[in-house]
Amino acid sequence: MFKLSTSMKIAFLFILIGSINWGIIGIINIDILATIFGVYSYISRIIYILIGVSGIYISSYIINYIFRKK
């Protein structure tokens, strides 16, 4: 079982939000974050940035885990 730090849990939360949002965009063409916070609002842009940074953070963790294991 993995022990996740608080930053990892937050990153996973943002990735979950982003993936659900993109799934809804793909299925019914509605951007939930833009609907809630506004299309070009600062809050929605900050959330999108946090989702992107979270993806990079988790990706780097996974890559480090794979190469460390060998």
> From CA 40, how far away is CA 43, in angstroms rounded?
8
User: pLDDT at position 40, please?
Assistant: 84
At 50, which amino acid appears?
L
Q: Where does the chain show beta strands of DSSP type E?
A: none
Q: Element (H or E) spanning 52, and its range?
A: helix 42-69
Mean pLDDT of 17-44: 93
Over residues 1-5, mean pLDDT? 76
At residue 4, the pLDDT reads 82
Q: Which amino acid is at 11?
A: A
> In the prediction, which pLDDT does 31 show?
93
Confidence tier at 1 by pLDDT (50, 70, 90): low
Average pLDDT value for residue range 56-67: 90
